[in-house]
Amino acid sequence: MMDWTDRHCRYLHRLISVKTRLYTEMVSTGALLHGDVGRHLALNEEEHPVALQLGGSEPAELAHCARLGRQWGYDEINLNCGCPSERVQRGAFGACLMAEPALVADCVKAMVDAVDIPVTVKHRIGIDRVHSYDFVRDFVGQVSQAGCGVFIVHARNAWLQGISPKENRTLPPLHHGFVHQLKADFPHLTIVANGGITNASEMQQQLDAVDGVMIGRAAYGNPWLLADWDQRFYGLPASDRSRDDVETRMVDYMQQEIRRSPIGWSTIARHMLGLRNGMAGARHWRQVWSNHRFKALDPREVMALAHQTAPAQRESMAA
Please count the other Cβ atoms lying within 10 Å of the Cβ belonging to residue 120. Answer: 21
Range 198-215 burial, b when 16+ CB lie within 10 A, else e: eebebbeebeebbebbbb
- Which residues, at least 6 apart from 239, have a Cβ–Cβ distance to it below 8 Å? 227, 228, 230, 231
C-alpha radius of gyration, the chain, whole number? 21
Distance from the first to the final alpha carbon of the chain: 45
d(CA 91, CA 102): 18
From the candidates 9, 81, 83, 107, which is the catalytic residue?
83
d(CA 165, CA 171): 10
Whether 83 is a known active-site residue: answer: yes
Residues identified as active-site:
83
